[in-house]
Amino acid sequence: MTMNTLKILAVDDEPGMLSGIERSLVNYTLRLPAPAGEVNFRVRTAATGREAVAAITAEPPDILLLDYKLPDITGLEVLRRTAEAAGEMLTVIITAYASIETAIAATREGAYDFLTKPFTPADLKHAVRKAAGSILLARRAKALEAEKKRVRFEFIRVLGHELKAPLNAVSGALFILRDRTLGGDLDQYGEVVSRSLARIGQMKKLISDLLEMTRLESGKKERTLEDVDLAAAAREAIELSAWEAERLGITLRLDGPEKLVVRADRGEIAMIYNNLVSNAVKYNRPDGRVEISLARRGPRVSIAVSDTGIGIPPEGIEKLFGEFVRLKDKRTKDVLGSGLGLSILKRLVELYDGRIEVESEPGRGSTFTVHLSAGEE
């Protein structure tokens, strides 16, 4: 549980009042609903307006408990003089006569709340609780905003980085062609052209993954729910990977019912399969196997894709579903990928109220199981 400490400055010219406030709050622990957690308070005091101004300027508190009527300058004057230094400080005005005029004037100077004298420790705690809740809520909103900015920045930074390498490779290849570096015989350039095409394919995949990701994130993705046969869709996914699988000597197998109909968007199901099957092929060993198993249990279905590949170390499993995450491994440095496939998969599966399970043994293979809601019958 998180523990937050909020700073309070209590300003009053009656010593009894100040010690009463201190006594009430020093050992007070506020329990707010998660994620705010527990809050306790550090209390400082000031007996005059000028002392208060000096204390706020030196170190602005989170909450200011301010007597309206002070011996030297008024509470309002304190607020005016500290307007710049105050930052996010919330002010609770303590007043013996909560007239509408004081309320208006104090609110205009930025007061957050009022506490009328005489008040009980419970009244005080109630006012402090309200202010603390508001402060922690504002802090959380700010932290979320900063996190959103960071993710957006990271997205663009990684994208730039990911496009640069293949673009450099392709322009290098074009220079070789332009300058006829390998001689006048065009046949000499076959390899250079093929490598460039592979790099362009990689960039296209990255861009289409990014667009898909953006559509999913914005919640603006168009979906058509219809009856989709998961077994037929699996056979199509196998077909799509067949060429790559054959090149690597990998056998693909489907296990489960002949037909398994769910309510789903056809394109989304195809994407779920393709992400899982293409990974199971890409991260396999030569002459390895991939098996897709389908099962239905009541209103839920599961799609399990197992491979006999390189596997994933336990500390890698948590990271996999992050954007642009690719695990470092010597064996896969030439494997093309954007690192977006599994983060797209995760978002797609969420659309079906589903979850993903990963079991893996490094060096032996991995099984990714997707559990989905089958939708209405």
Q: Which of 327, 351, 359, 375 forms a contact with ligand ADP (CB under 6 A)?
A: 327
* 212 interacts with ligand ADP by CB under 6 A: no
* 308 interacts with ligand ADP by CB under 6 A: no
**Of 120 and 208, which CB lies nearer to ligand ADP in the complex structure?**
208
Q: Which of 339, 347, 351, 359 forms a contact with ligand ADP (CB under 6 A)?
A: 339
**Of 102 and 360, which CB lies nearer to ligand ADP in the complex structure?**
360
What mask of x and - would describe binding to ligand ADP in positions 216 to 255, judged by CB under 6 A?
Answer: ----------------------------------------
Q: Are 277 and 288 in contact (CB under 8 A)?
A: no
**Least distance to ligand ADP, CB of residue 371, Å:** 17
**Least distance to ligand ADP, CB of residue 223, Å:** 22
- Cα–Cα dist 345/239, whole Å: 20
- Cα–Cα dist 215/44, whole Å: 52
Q: Are 366 and 352 in contact (CB under 8 A)?
A: no
**What are the residues facing 373 on neighbouring strands?**
300
**Least distance to ligand ADP, CB of residue 366, Å:** 4
**Of 106 and 345, which CB lies nearer to ligand ADP in the complex structure?**
345
For ligand ADP (CB under 6 A), the number of binding residues is 19
**Of 61 and 341, which CB lies nearer to ligand ADP in the complex structure?**
341
- Cα–Cα dist 218/150, whole Å: 17
- Cα–Cα dist 256/12, whole Å: 77
Q: Which of 95, 309, 354, 356 forms a contact with ligand ADP (CB under 6 A)?
A: 309
Q: Which residues between 258 and 297 bind ligand ADP (CB under 6 A)?
A: 275, 279-280, 283
Count how many residues are written for the chain.
377
Q: Is 344 exposed, middle or buried (0-12, 13-18, 19+ CB in 10 A)?
A: buried
Task: Estimate the share of the chain in helix, then strand, then coil, as percent rounded to the nearest 5.
Answer: 50, 25, 30
* Number of other residues whose CB lies within 10 A of the CB of residue 218: 8
**Of 81 and 282, which CB lies nearer to ligand ADP in the complex structure?**
282
* 92 interacts with ligand ADP by CB under 6 A: no
Q: Are 338 and 206 in contact (CB under 8 A)?
A: yes
Applying CB under 6 A, which residues contact ligand ADP?
Answer: 275, 279-280, 283, 307, 309-310, 312, 320, 325-327, 337-342, 366
